[in-house]
Amino acid sequence: MSKKLVTYVLLALLLNLTCVRLAAGNPNATKEAHFIQKLRDGISKLGTGPQARVKVELRDKTKLSGYIMKADDEGFVIVDDKTGQPIPVAYPQVKQAKGNNLSSGAKLAITLAVLGAIAVLVIIFTPKT
């Protein structure tokens, strides 16, 4: 009787171990999916056109810089600075991406700071009568 019990316990432990491994899945796949979603969101936030500047490093060590001509769910198209040619890039190909496009709030803050500095300079250097 005890051999049967030990066999069932070992079988249950083996089955449990197998189920836990299947449920955990591949953690690298979830990290990559999260990175792709974050990249997709960042590209959509940058927008398209000459003001949407981006520098991208691909998994094959290729480096691209230019602006985003168009973007969709599968990837985006970069117009290369050097050649002027459009280069399609799929999101899974991207290793690292850096974009520089100021939001309208940042542009407004910079404009107000410059205007404030000009006003202070005018007040300081205006001759007093």
* Closest alpha carbon to 108 in 119, 118, 116: 116
Please count the structural domains in the chain.
Answer: 1
Q: What is the CATH number of the domain that holds 41?
A: 2.30.30.100
Contact between residue 87 and residue 80 where contact means Cβ atoms under 8 Å apart: yes
Q: Is residue 118 part of a domain?
A: no
> pTM of this prediction?
0.57
Report which DSSP code applies to 129: -
Q: Is residue 115 part of a domain?
A: no
Q: Is residue 82 part of a domain?
A: yes
Q: Mind listing the pLDDT tens digit for each residue in 50-103?
A: 888 889 999 898 899 999 999 888 899 999 988 999 999 998 999 888 887 655
Instruction: Tell me the three state secondary structure of residue 26.
Output: coil
Domain of residue 77: give its range: 2-101
Q: Is residue 111 part of a domain?
A: no
Q: Is residue 38 part of a domain?
A: yes
Q: Mind listing the pLDDT tens digit for each residue in 11-50?
A: 676 667 666 555 555 566 688 888 888 888 888 888 888 8
Q: Is residue 117 part of a domain?
A: no
For CA atoms 38, 41, 44, 50, the dihedral sign is negative
Residue with the bigger pLDDT between 77 and 4: it is 77
Q: Is residue 107 part of a domain?
A: no
Q: Is residue 78 part of a domain?
A: yes
